Structure 1
Amino acid sequence: MISRIIGKLLRGRRAGDRYLLWNELPPSPGEVVLRLASPAFEDGMLIPARYAGKGVGENVSPAFSWSGVPDHAVELVMVMEDPDAPLRHPFVHLIASIPAPIPSGLSEGELSAKAVPPGVTFGLSTFRKPGYSGPRALVAHGLHRYLFQLYALGQPSGLPSGAKRAELVTALTGKIVARGRLCGYFERT
């Protein structure tokens, strides 16, 4: 009951797109577009409840596939942000670094901190936890967008395990050779 009231009171408050990593890292000349997809949901569609966060869903990461990664890419960085959270900055749900050899995707659950694929390094979410934290917006706050952003790098990022969102701009600037994103929606009524 209290969470529903808080969600309604904060309904007009949103972090907005300004501070999304996507917008803080403008494209460089020569950058190519990656295609990022998931069999769990299409771009612009609802994310199934199975992938929602702890206490709402099963908090399992969706499977992902991508194409268009340049041959000279040495690392991928995936970031999931919610720009509709009632905070000053988007809520970070995932920071993951995937080194070469670069796969063509990840299976369901592979972005969980409990089942880390070889070589994958996790930064910390806004919850200060490594790995995937699924959608878990405030009850009655309205529909939220969840942006999965994938960056292919021509040089290693140097991101350490436990890196925070604030470190990403510096770590990725000048190294991005391709990028793509996938947007899903989720709402708690």
Structure 2
Amino acid sequence: MHRPDGTGHGQRMEEMMLRSVAFDDHTLMPSEYSHDSGDLSPPLEWSQAPEEVVELALACEDPDAPAGTFTHWLLAGIDPAETGMETGEQPTGAVAGRNDFGTEGYGGPKPPAGDDPHRYFFRLYGLSEPSGLGPGFTAEDLRDALTDKIVASGTLVGTFAR
């Protein structure tokens, strides 16, 4: 989701650390997290959310897709007390949005064979108000829900090629 201008009026955006033990920022993601290998989401860890955060949301998108940005994963309703998730898991209470494969939850990388490595932007957003999103929400729904509510964020970029 191209980073929206979702900061609240007069609010300062705080940076949250977002990382994975499976790959480093701007490095190749292991194939086990790809679409062809069963769509296991990678493990993610993040720093404790600032006090004013009432909900976390997560998006993973590929801006290098041939037809434009491709959404691979959307989560909302993540408890701000959470600081990560294991491989293939979703935090308790979180709701999954619809990815561009047409399913809810994580859909791993599947760039066209022979393309240069695509970039996969994992973005974590700390919201000052609840998103109000339910299961099956879209990237557009998330963009709308983020407007004027983002008080913290973190980004991790993985790459992948076939």
Q: TM-score range by the shorter chain?
A: over 0.9
Query: Which residue, out of 148, 166, 172, partners 2:146?
Result: 172
Q: CA RMSD in A?
A: 1.5
Q: Does 1:102 align with 2:102?
A: no
Q: Work out the CA distance in 2 between the residues paired with 1:35 and 1:66.
A: 5
Query: Which residue, out of 23, 30, 33, partners 2:12?
Result: 30
Query: Which residue, out of 88, 107, 115, partners 1:133?
Result: 107
Where in structure 1 do 4 or more consecutive aligned residues deviate above 3 Å? 26-29
1:49 is aligned to 31
Q: Work out the CA distance in 1 between the residues paired with 2:92 and 2:70.
A: 27
Tell me the secondary structure at the aligned position of residue 37 of structure 2: coil
Q: Work out the CA distance in 2 between the residues paired with 1:126 and 1:93.
A: 6
Q: Greater Rg, structure 1 or structure 2?
A: 1
| Contact 1:39–1:63 (Cα < 8 Å) also in 2 | yes
Paired positions, count? 160
Say if 1:26 and 1:157 are closer, same or farther in 2 by CA, change over 3 A.
Answer: closer
TM-score by length of 1: 0.80
| Contact 2:44–2:86 (Cα < 8 Å) also in 1 | yes
1:72 is aligned to 52
**1:102: how far off?**
2.4
What are the Cα deviations for residues 119-162 of structure 1, in whole angstroms up to 9, with x where unaligned?
11011001121111111111112210000000011100111211
TM-score by length of 2: 0.92
| Contact 2:126–2:151 (Cα < 8 Å) also in 1 | yes
Q: Work out the CA distance in 2 between the residues paired with 1:38 and 1:98.
A: 21
Tell me the secondary structure at the aligned position of residue 59 of structure 2: strand
What are the Cα deviations for residues 94-114 of structure 1, in whole angstroms up to 9, with x where unaligned?
000133352111111114xxx
Kindly report which structure 2 residues correspond to 1:71-90, keeping only aligned pairs within 5 A, or say none. Answer: 71-87=51-67, 89-90=68-69
Give unmatched runs, 5+ long, in structure 1: 1-19, 112-116
Q: Work out the CA distance in 1 between the residues paired with 2:56 and 2:7.
A: 16
Q: Does 1:121 align with 2:103?
A: no
